[in-house]
Amino acid sequence: MASEGEYESILCVKPDVNVYRIPPRASNRGYRAADWKLDTPDWTGRMRIIAKGKLVYIKLEDKISGELFAQAPVQEFPGITVETVGDSSRYFVLRIQDDNGRSAFIGVGFGDRGDAFDFNVALQDHFKWVKQEEEMSKNSQTVDTGPKLDLGFKEGQTITLNIGQGKKRDKPRPQSSGGLGLLPPPPGGKIAPPPSANHNTVQPTAGAETGCLLELDSSNSNTVLQSNPSSDLWGDFSSSGSAVPPSAPCQEPSSGNWVQF
């Protein structure tokens, strides 16, 4: 049953509905609207479908004043409170109930099939929601009453974490063919001999034979001047530990601008 603190919500309102007094059920075949006096309804008014908690109240009220004519509390659908007839989709049988608990069966009908469809869907949607709420409540109770796993540490209990680390592998260093860590010489290459320990020995060059001399003029322009091959402008180079080869005899400088070493 609905409690006093639950709020009401209107599911559907139909302004035109006809109410009929129906004869007792003659057999188990169900109700038939053709057995009613459809042309002369016993009452005409509006219908409001109100949900209060899990219950639904079908209220038949006066169109103008809103005075309650009858109401049918519905606990389930389909059920005994709301039944369909066997020969039409626009007519239903309601079990109405007063405040004293007395009940009676009446027939209701809609002039439009769309109104009958809305009436049927409003009841189906509400009790579908009720069924889902009951299943969710059962599932939550099953989870609460089930055995719980004790994942806490007991007194004095410890846990060891083994975090594996791979051993570092020593990568071999590349070795040269000589075993000293030096790069091998390029193929076909020759290593030049080291220079002589006597740095003061002057060897004749091709420039001495041709007599070409690089001179810088006063305008700082690089000019190659061809000197007279007959004159020797080179000075004498002498050292205590070196001797001038006989092919290049020492000559007296022809110009006084050279300093003898």
Contact in structure between 202 and 237 (CB atoms under 8 Å): yes
Top pLDDT among 76 and 249 is at: 76
Side-chain-side CA neighbours of 24 within 13 Å: the count stands at 1
Picking from 79, 92, 77, the residue whose alpha carbon sits closest to that of residue 18 is 92
pLDDT at 108 over 90: yes
Greatest mean pLDDT among 47-56, 160-169, 188-197 lies in 47-56
CA–CA gap between residue 146 and residue 131 (Å, rounded): 23
CA–CA gap between residue 45 and residue 67 (Å, rounded): 10
Range 39-60 average pLDDT: 95
Contact in structure between 210 and 229 (CB atoms under 8 Å): yes
pLDDT at 3 over 60: no
CA–CA gap between residue 248 and residue 117 (Å, rounded): 131
Q: Which of 38-47, 124-133, 178-187 has the lowest mean pLDDT?
A: 178-187
Top pLDDT among 87 and 259 is at: 87
Range 7-28 average pLDDT: 89
Band (173; pLDDT cuts 50, 70, 90)? low
pLDDT at 72: 96
Band (187; pLDDT cuts 50, 70, 90)? low
Band (40; pLDDT cuts 50, 70, 90)? very high
User: Mind listing the domains of the chain with CATH numbers?
Assistant: 8-138 (2.30.29.30)
Q: What is the pLDDT of residues 63-104, one digit of tens each?
A: 999 999 999 999 998 889 999 998 999 999 999 999 888 999
pTM (2 d.p.): 0.53
Band (221; pLDDT cuts 50, 70, 90)? very low
pLDDT at 202: 46
pLDDT at 41 over 90: yes
Locus of tokens 């038949």: 60
Contact in structure between 81 and 123 (CB atoms under 8 Å): no
Range 126-153 average pLDDT: 77
CA–CA gap between residue 227 and residue 254 (Å, rounded): 13
CA separation (Å) from 209 to 133, 214, 223, 245, 259? 117, 14, 20, 14, 21
